[in-house]
Amino acid sequence: MALDVLVVGGGLMGASAAWRLSARGHRVTVLERFGPGHDRGSSHGTSRIFRLAYAEPSYTELALRALPLWRRLEEESGRPVLTLTGAVDHGPPEVLERLADVLAGAGRPGRRLSPGEVAERWPGLRADTAALYHPDAGRVHADDAVAALLDAAGRRGAEVRHGVRVTEIRRAGGGATVVTDTDEALVADAVVVAVGGWAPGPAADVVSGLPPLRVTQEQPVHFPVPDALEWPSFIHHPGAGLRLPGGVYGLGSVDGVKIGLHGAG
């Protein structure tokens, strides 16, 4: 049965939901507070890591399901979004063994490399211990991905409305009513709330039952490197001389080599 669905928030999560819901035949409207390509959320920029190597098999399973969907999105939107460069994981041997086991269990290739092999293949990288290379990884262009998702959702019949701020969401019978800052009331069978880092502020008053949320600013840096687009994605896991709890991640992008700390605030 086709449903009327309102998606509040047109970033990566909201745009993804709109695309897949539209593909399933539902009538979808996206309400995005800001304009196209804005930088007020967590979905802007040129680079995000795509990888299959996770210690949790369920994460690897989700990434494996996502991979063909990224390619389908590129076909539907006509926009290149995902570039596979491979990825290098570096850190304590037991961490790499776990990643290799998960990849093997999923039937995906992975190759162990010595520090010398890492330095020879990627002169900008150094490994103190062993490393694990897996080819089914790389980067997603974040801005282009959001645009492609909204475009693909529109092609499937979704309506995308920018500049619409939601002030209230309330249950109405078996569905819900969404009220905007212009006092427009929209009725739907279901509402998807995908407001990201705005959740503890405006959304806390809009959506009842949210658990306490703490939003942190994660500030990556970019280094200008001539061959940045040829770099693999990489993870330096805690241990092996690295005492940062969440480790360090990085990847090439059109803005240079991006480096960040995981969950450091």
> Same domain, yes or no, for 136 and 159?
no
> Same domain, yes or no, for 85 and 132?
yes
**What is the model's pLDDT at position 204?**
65
Domain assignment present for 53: no
Residue 188 Cα distances to 10, 59, 232, angstroms: 17, 32, 44
Domain assignment present for 255: yes
> Same domain, yes or no, for 121 and 242?
yes
**In this structure, are residues 8 and 193 in contact, taking their beta carbons and an 8 Å threshold?**
yes
Q: Are strands 27-32 and 4-8 parallel, antiparallel or unpaired?
A: parallel
Domain assignment present for 73: no
Element (H, E) at 169: strand 166-172
Cα–Cα dist 258/46, whole Å: 10
Edge-first strand order for the sheet with 48-50 is: 48-50, 138-140, 82-84
Domain assignment present for 55: no
Q: Which residues pair with 161 in a beta bridge?
A: 31
Q: State which residues of the chain have pLDDT below 50.
A: none
> Same domain, yes or no, for 199 and 90?
no
Q: What is the CATH number of the domain that holds 24?
A: 3.50.50.60
Residue 125: CB atoms within 10 A of its CB come to: 18
Domain assignment present for 227: yes
- Closest by CA position to 196, among listed 11, 39, 6: 11
> Same domain, yes or no, for 33 and 153?
yes
- Closest by CA position to 231, among listed 92, 149, 124: 124
**Count of H-run helices and E-run strands, the chain:** 6, 17
Residue ending a domain, among 161, 187, 206, is 206
> Tens digit of pLDDT for each residue in 192-220?
999 988 887 656 666 666 677 888 888 89
> Same domain, yes or no, for 127 and 235?
yes
Q: What is the CATH number of the domain that holds 135?
A: 3.30.9.10
0.85 cut: is pTM over it? yes
Domain assignment present for 31: yes
What's the domain range around 27?
4-43+143-206
> Same domain, yes or no, for 147 and 201?
yes
Domain assignment present for 70: no
How much of the chain exceeds pLDDT 90, in percent?
78
Domain assignment present for 48: no
Residue ending a domain, among 206, 229, 246, is 206
**In this structure, are residues 44 and 116 in contact, taking their beta carbons and an 8 Å threshold?**
no
**In this structure, are residues 183 and 176 in contact, taking their beta carbons and an 8 Å threshold?**
no
Count the domains in the chain. Answer: 2
- Non-local CB neighbours of 103 within 8 Å, separated by 6+ positions: 52, 53, 60, 109, 110, 134
